Amino acid sequence: MRSAWSMAAVTFILKRLLENTLIEQAGPAGLGEVLVTALPPDRIALGTEERPQLNLYLYRLTPDSSWRQSPAPAPARAGSADSEPGEAGWQPLALKFHYLLSSYGERDGQGELLLGLAIDCLQQAALLAGERLQALLQALSADGSGRARANVLARLVSAAPLQELRIRPEFLGMEEQTRLWSAWQAHARLAMTYEVTALLKEAAPTAKAGPGRRMSAGDKHNPGQPS
């Protein structure tokens, strides 16, 4: 369950990074108020309703093969901070998150400027770990935009076992980009794709004895037969 919260946290962290950059730089760049979203591209308002906007869309998840050969960590001690009832310990789960970052604007040059600011932001945040990562998670929990949203973000902080994020550009060919936009039935816009590797912790499955009795190693009783 914790990895599910971590998957949501990755997108929220990247979105917050972009929002922080635009708060500092959109005004001086003459962009005014800029919206940062994490929606499917076909849900972005276009035409007369188009506005300065960045959209970060998670369109694919793949395993990080570089961690497949890594030895699993020792099981956590019962009652330790890393363990939960019924769990033998946390196993590393490494995933690659593939994002499409697209930019929009109502005037000439806005989309290019927005995407340039976003690329610079993510380039400077190529590795997020330790105190910086925790600071971003804590900032999310302090988000005051509605009680329900704040509760979700607070849960992300307490339940998401993120260890580090690595962000790098992923350059797709024109044919692959065209297939993506066509699959979403959306109008193509200036965009950049990114691969984000997230190192999480996942609980190893454990066998649990039934609630009625505790079985010993020498017990020959068949659980399917009455005592």
What is the tens place of the pLDDT at every residue in 85-127? 444 555 566 789 999 999 999 888 899 999 999 999 999 999 9
Task: Using alpha carbons only, give the angle 73, 128, 190 rounded to the nearest 5 degrees.
Answer: 125
The domain in which residue 74 lies consists of: 2-203
- 33 vs 7, more confident: 33
Supply the pLDDT for residue 178: 93
130 in any annotated domain: yes
Burial 161-188 (b: 16+ CB within 10 A, else e): bbeebbbeeeebeeeeeeebbeebebee
Asked whether the beta carbons of 133 and 150 are under 8 A apart, the reply is: no
Mean per-residue pLDDT, 17-39: 87
**Whose structure tokens read 């009832």?**
85
Summarize pLDDT for 122-175 with one digit per residue, the tens: 999 999 988 888 888 777 766 655 444 555 666 655 555 678 899 999 999 999
Supply the pLDDT for residue 29: 74
Supply the pLDDT for residue 172: 92
60 in any annotated domain: yes
Mean per-residue pLDDT, 10-17: 92
Supply the pLDDT for residue 68: 56
Asked whether the beta carbons of 130 and 136 are under 8 A apart, the reply is: no
216 in any annotated domain: no
189 in any annotated domain: yes
Mean per-residue pLDDT, 190-207: 75
pLDDT of 209 above 60: no
Residue percentage of the chain with pLDDT more than 70: 64
144 in any annotated domain: yes
pLDDT of 227 above 50: no
219 in any annotated domain: no
214 in any annotated domain: no
- 47 vs 116, more confident: 116
Mean per-residue pLDDT, 196-211: 62
Supply the pLDDT for residue 78: 45
Rg of the chain over CA atoms, in angstroms?
22
Distance, in Å, from the CA atom of 13 to the CA atom of 6, rounded to the nearest integer, reads 10
- Split at pLDDT 50, 70, 90, the class of 40 is very high
Number of domains in the chain: 1
Distances from the Cα of 221 to the Cαs of 72, 207, 216, in angstroms?
Answer: 33, 17, 10
Task: Using alpha carbons only, give the angle 131, 155, 169 rounded to the nearest 5 degrees.
Answer: 55
Of 150, 133, 142, 141, the residue nearest 198 (C-alpha): 133
Supply the pLDDT for residue 129: 87
Exposed, middle or buried: residue 210 (CB in 10 Å: 0-12, 13-18, 19+)? exposed
Distance, in Å, from the CA atom of 10 to the CA atom of 119, rounded to the nearest integer, reads 17
pLDDT of 221 above 90: no
176 in any annotated domain: yes
- 153 vs 59, more confident: 59
- 68 vs 76, more confident: 68
pLDDT of 54 above 70: yes
pLDDT of 176 above 70: yes
Distance, in Å, from the CA atom of 87 to the CA atom of 73, rounded to the nearest integer, reads 14
